[in-house]
Amino acid sequence: MTAVPEKPSYPAGSQVGLAIAISNTGKVPCIRDIGRHLRELVVMTADGAVQLWSSNHCLATAGDEVRILQPGEKFDFGTKWVGSTSEPGCGKHTRLGPGDYLLVAKLGPKASAPVPFRLT
């Protein structure tokens, strides 16, 4: 599983393309629930200390999506982030300014390595 910003840098205030890539790197088929309730993209401060935004705060997350991933098969799930914070239940949003941020992809309890990107 990998976190994928579409580009390494975006102008502040623009929509930022973010994705999670889920792959079967094994040699045999893998049965896995990759449902919306398990997939999450998280934007964090550059030091990784503070979660600023989650794709699951404002989007419906119900439902299983069990897939058979063949060896080498990859699924990409993307969204657009408008550059603001989020809270559970889709509460208050605060626009973030220029700076360095980290993107982390999650699938259930597993998390990807953080990937840096920048708002200019």
69 is a domain residue = yes
Per residue in 56-111, pLDDT tens?
988 766 778 899 999 999 999 999 999 999 998 888 899 999 999 999 999 999 99
CATH no. for residue 82? 2.60.40
- The domain total for the chain is 1
116 is a domain residue = no
115 is a domain residue = no
67 is a domain residue = yes
Dihedral sign computed on CA atoms, order 99, 102, 117, 12: negative
pTM of the predicted structure, to 2 decimals: 0.91
Domain ranges, residue 40: 2-108
